[in-house]
């Protein structure tokens, strides 16, 4: 059940121009959630690290039976192992295919395809696994783990450098290994005896003869999460740092021959220039980075997110969201331009942010590994200075039979008035306004606390508390 976390439980927000960023609880009780995806409909699919996928329905209920349970096939001891990534085929509605990235009981990465049940769209066929590739992992960390279909229809797979610390095997720059890379494969046209094919153009080997053909880009340390911008098709990768720097990378669509620089560079700083280090003018450096002590809170691991492209929070459009696992802060980047403006929130303690998600409408979500809760990202603006937006008044308050909403001579038209109960449930919506004062009956409301949300045509909001006696 949804709760208005930013009002009822407490105000968790950061100031970014005139809006506040908040979180709103959607569903809880998950076991180490590490991925949130949609399948082209209103459901959200939550990946649990121990090897299960659960469904949040459009009414925010959670199905009691998992969509998929492969717990016995994965290492589920926590850390950076387990079931890590999920991607639905672009034609999932017709073919029912989805793809997983997990660490098997031998400690190696498996990329495989499953099918949904033929009789129940809320259940997958547990026996349908079709393994595309298995990649040997030398250590138990830096597995990467995310995967997603790009706008070109190919499957992108994020792999870390194989682990330990400092990439001792210099694997991220070794073009003959898949570790420390972003892979790009064709799942629809297998060839050369493999269960997948190689895209006809754009992969790394075209400009670098001898490179493994699956590689799209090189020089990554531990790309835990990545995403494609729904509006521009830009690819965003948040790469977890080694000693002190967390980096966020972005490249335009149809980019190729990309080298992100690890282990030669950690962010913009030199890390280890021994070994195979290309010229700096051939490297792609991050669009933003932060250190482990930015804003005074200890940080350790960046969790990449998405640019907001939804419609419910108009003030957030175009912001790129990310978070830090250790500090429990949520960050945003505002751009575009030569310099992206970074803002970090206060701490949302007790969560350990592990993943963001985007629903079919572009609304954003975030989950905590420790809290087991999925939240919605919202604009928690409770009102700003009168001259910046508008002012309203409601009276009488407390009320019994009804109240009057006075728009106080606002010259900006009102789009909607929403009334929520204390549980965050929408009670009623009013969308017809002819006067500056609006009489709203409350006889049908039970006694208690309500929230009256007024939204003008520019998307700005005011929220007032209302007590029904």
Could you give the CA distance from residue 25 to residue 7 in angstroms, rounded to a whole number? 12
In this prediction, what percent of the chain has a pLDDT beyond 90? 71
Q: Which of 80, 71, 364 is nearest to 222 (CA)?
A: 80
Q: What is the pLDDT of residues 13-41, one digit of tens each?
A: 333 333 478 999 999 999 999 999 999 99
State the DSSP code for 197. B
The Cα–Cα gap between 112 and 102 comes to 9
Reported as a pLDDT band with limits 50, 70 and 90, residue 459 is low
Element containing residue 126 per DSSP (H, E): strand 124-135
Average pLDDT rounded to a whole number, residues 39-57: 97
From residue 160, alpha-carbon distances to 87, 170, 225, 289 in Å are 18, 12, 11, 18
CA–centroid distance for 202 within its chain: 26
Cα dihedral: 331, 334, 340, 343 (round 10): -30
Structure tokens at 253: 């669509």
Residue 432 scores a pLDDT above 90: no
Q: In the predicted model, is pLDDT for residue 415 greater than 90?
A: no
Structure confidence by residue, pLDDT tens digits, 89-99: 999 999 999 99
Q: Which of 269, 289, 153, 144 is nearest to 218 (CA)?
A: 144
Asked if residues 364 and 321 have their Cβ atoms less than 8 Å apart, the reply is yes
d(CA 87, CA 136): 21
Chain mean position to CA 425: 24
Give per-residue pLDDT as tens, 100-115: 999 999 999 999 999 9
Ordered by where they begin, the domains of the chain are 5-379 (2.120.10.30), 393-468 (2.60.40.1930)
Average pLDDT over residues 363-380: 94
**Alpha carbon distance 160, 167 (integer Å):** 10
In sign, the C-alpha dihedral spanning 96, 97, 101, 102 is: positive
Q: Rounded distance, CA 214 to CA 418, Å? A: 51
Pick from 406, 403, 380, 413: nearest CA to 391: 406
State the DSSP H helix or E strand holding residue 93, giving kind and residue range, or none if neither.
helix 92-95
Q: Are β-strands 124-135 and 147-149 bridged in parallel, bridged antiparallel, or unpaired?
A: unpaired
pLDDT of residue 423: 61
């Amino acid at each position: 059940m949804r709760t208005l976390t930013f009002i009822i439980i407490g105000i968790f927000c950061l100031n970014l121009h005139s809006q506040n960023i908040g979180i709103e609880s959607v569903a809880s009780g998950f076991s180490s959630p590490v991925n949130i995806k949609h399948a082209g409909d209103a459901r959200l699919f939550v990946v649990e690290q121990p090897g299960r996928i659960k469904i949040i329905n459009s009414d925010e209920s959670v199905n009691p039976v998992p969509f998929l349970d492969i717990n016995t096939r994965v290492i589920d001891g926590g850390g950076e192992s387990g079931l890590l990534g999920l991607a639905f085929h672009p034609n999932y509605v017709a073919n029912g295919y989805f793809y997983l990235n997990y660490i098997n009981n031998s400690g190696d990465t498996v990329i495989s395809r499953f099918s949904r049940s033929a009789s129940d769209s809320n259940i997958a066929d547990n026996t349908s696994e079709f393994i595309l590739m298995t990649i040997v992992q030398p250590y138990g960390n830096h597995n990467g783990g995310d995967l997603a279909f790009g706008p070109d229809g190919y499957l992108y797979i994020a792999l870390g450098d194989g682990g330990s610390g400092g990439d001792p095997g210099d694997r991220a720059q070794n073009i003959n290994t898949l570790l420390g890379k972003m892979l790009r494969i064709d799942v629809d046209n297998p060839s050369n005896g493999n269960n997948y094919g190689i895209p006809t153009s754009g992969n790394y080997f075209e400009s670098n003869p001898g490179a493994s053909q699956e590689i799209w880009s090189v020089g990554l340390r531990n790309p835990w999460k990545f995403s494609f911008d729904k509006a521009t098709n830009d690819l965003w990768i948040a790469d977890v740092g080694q000693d002190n720097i967390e980096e966020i990378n972005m490249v335009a669509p149809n980019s190729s021959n990309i080298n992100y620089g690890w282990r030669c560079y950690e962010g913009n700083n030199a890390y280890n220039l021994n070994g195979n280090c290309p010229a700096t003018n051939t490297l792609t450096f991050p669009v933003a980075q932060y250190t482990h002590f930015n804003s005074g809170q200890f940080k350790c691991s960046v969790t990449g997110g998405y640019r907001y492209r939804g419609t419910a929070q108009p003030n957030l459009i175009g912001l790129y969201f990310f978070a830090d696992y250790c500090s429990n802060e949520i960050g945003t980047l505002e751009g575009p331009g030569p310099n992206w403006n970074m803002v970090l929130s206060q701490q949302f303690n007790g969560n350990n942010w592990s993943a963001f998600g985007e629903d079919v409408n572009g609304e954003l979500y975030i989950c905590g590994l420790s809290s087991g809760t999925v939240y919605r990202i919202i604009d928690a603006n409770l009102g700003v200075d009168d001259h910046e937006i508008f002012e309203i008044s409601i009276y009488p308050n407390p009320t019994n039979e009804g109240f009057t909403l006075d728009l106080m001579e606002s010259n900006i038209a009102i789009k909607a008035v929403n009334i929520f109960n204390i549980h965050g449930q929408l009670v009623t919506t009013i969308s017809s306004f002819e006067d500056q004062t609006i009489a709203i009956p409350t006889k049908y409301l039970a006694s208690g606390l309500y929230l009256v949300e007024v939204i003008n045509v520019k998307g700005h909001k005011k929220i007032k508390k209302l007590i029904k006696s």
